[in-house]
Amino acid sequence: MPTFEPRAALRRGLPSLPEYAALEDSNELARQFGFGPEAIIKVDGNENPYGPSPKALEALKRVDYAVHQYGDADQKALRGALSTYLGVAADSIVCGAGSDELIEMLFRLFVEEGDRIVTASPTFGMYAFNAQVSAAEVVDVPLLADWQFDTEGLVDAALQAKVTFIPRPNNPTGNEIPEALIERLLETGTMLVIDEAYIEFSQTPSLAQRAATTPGLVVLRTFSKWGGLAGMRIGYGVMDPETAGILMQTKDPYNLNAAAEAAALASLEDTEVLDERACILAGERDRLIEELRGLGWVFPYPSDAVFILMRLEGIAGRDLRDRLRQRAIFTRYMDSPRLQDHLRISIGLPEQNDRILAAFREIGQEIGRG
């Protein structure tokens, strides 16, 4: 009797199942190391340590929306609120279950098997992940020394690519893509996706208004970082109305859950609080960079995001991560050849950052660099 074999039945164009290096569960890690939840400093996921805004928390507590009913498939309320916030037409906005869903939508609609997409590593892993699911070819144009973008290499690659994905600021390096390079990429005819997940922590103006009237330019934004709603999974994209119409027509009809939408709407009524928190975190970021640089064995790169990537001397990134774990500080180590002597930390609350700095000083003494 024939037996269905799931792996044998996979699409022929799918070379292998992709893997994404997701964060380890911090509660499980805490149990392994014998810490209570209150002792943990979680700076591995670029999450906002302040959490949701007061109005968002109140909206979540009320639960006075009709959760037993489907929501508005046209996302009118949230698209309208975002239209006012961004100063763009509502018909140029599409909301999703995190910007990850919007990335997946772009692949599903515009990237066929064998198409090329362009990235600039090190970068956000979901671009290559979705490319593998789509059986697309990833043309990676690695960042140069000190994580500068390879302008000519990116332009040459984009000329033959369906989509080019660039975070702004970049993740995990924290630097900005030059405006002149953006202009040149737009001239290639590629769809240029600028992922502005961390733009609120930067001094760089958003490209959202331009994307609303520029075919081929898509700007992704999220409530995960600035809004402190990472666990709610809600983001949005801004693009020209024709592209937005295609996404709205083909998305899952009710892709926003009611709680996430309510929290996002309340966040947009609490932007002053969220912007103030972003300023505090940016100031803490700059303080950490200065303090870490003074240790003599840690070399943090400038960052416009809510995280710091640092090069290490006298210790491997994995070793430093493990020593910090023993102190209930969970950071992000990325096991790739260019980053094995690096570590990335998110920005915590001021008192958490003090503990992080104290831990770095202790570890410096342990390795003879104090």
Q: What percent of the residues of the chain are helix, what percent strand, and what percent coil, each to the nearest 5? A: 40, 15, 45
Instruction: Examine the domain organization and report whether 293 and 252 are in the same domain.
Output: no
Flag whether pLDDT at 2 surpasses 90.
no
Distance CA 312, CA 331 (A): 14
- Short-list 281, 368, 367, 369, CA closest to 322: 367
pLDDT value of position 65: 61
Same domain, 257 and 276: no
Same domain, 102 and 40: no
Least confident of 3-12, 22-31, 195-204, 206-215: 22-31
CATH classification of the domain holding 276: 3.90.1150.10
Indicate whether 144 belongs to any domain.
Answer: yes
Q: Does 331 score more than 70 pLDDT?
A: yes
Has residue 17 been placed in a domain? no
For 146, 193, 218, 237, the CA distances from 94, given in Å and listed in that order, are: 35, 14, 11, 5
Measure the CA dihedral 127/128/131/132, to 10°.
-150
pLDDT single digits (tens) 243-260 = 999 999 999 999 999 999
Weakest mean pLDDT among 17-21, 68-72, 168-172: 17-21
Report the CATH number that the domain containing residue 171 is assigned in CATH: 3.40.640.10
Examine the domain organization and report whether 165 and 284 are in the same domain: no
Residues 236 and 139 in one domain: yes
The residue among 212, 245, 270 that closes a domain is: 270
Residues 60 and 198 in one domain: yes
Residues 6+ apart with CB under 8 A from 348: 41, 43, 49, 284, 356
Q: What is the pLDDT of residue 164?
A: 98
* Inside any domain, residue 1: no
* Residue ranges in the chain assigned as alpha helix (H): 26-33, 54-62, 76-86, 98-110, 126-133, 151-158, 179-186, 208-211, 241-250, 258-267, 271-293, 317-325, 350-366
* 187: pLDDT strictly greater than 70: yes
Within-domain flag for 10: no
In sequence order, the β-bridge partners of residue 195 are: 167, 220
Q: Is residue 264 part of a domain?
A: yes
Whether 213 and 263 share a structural domain: yes
Q: What's the pLDDT tens digit per position in 50-76?
A: 999 999 999 998 866 667 888 899 999
From 218, 238, 270, give the residue that closes a domain. 270
- The residue segments making up the domain with residue 33 are 26-51+272-366
Q: Which helix (H) or strand (E) holds 166?
A: strand 163-167
Q: List CB contacts of 245: < 8 A, sequence separation 6 or more.
A: 91
Q: Which of 226, 249, 270 is the last residue of a domain?
A: 270
What residues are paired with 312 via a beta bridge?
298
Q: Residue 41: what pLDDT?
A: 95
Q: Are residues 134 and 278 in the same domain?
A: no
The arithmetic mean of pLDDT across residues 177-198, rounded, is 98
**pLDDT the model gives residue 129:** 94
Band the pLDDT of 16: cuts 50, 70, 90.
confident
Asked if 75 and 205 sit in the same domain, the reply is yes
Q: Rounded to an integer, what distance in angstroms lies between the CA atom of residue 114 and that of residue 243? A: 22
Rounded Cα–Cα distance for residues 53 and 270 (Å) = 7
The reported pTM is: 0.95
* Tens digit of each residue's pLDDT (9 = 90 or more) over 75-100: 999 999 999 999 999 999 999 999 99
Question: How is the beta sheet containing 342-346 ordered, strand by strand?
Answer: 298-300, 307-312, 342-346
pLDDT value of residue 147:
97
Note whether 67 and 153 are same-domain residues.
yes
Number of domains observed in the structure of the chain:
2
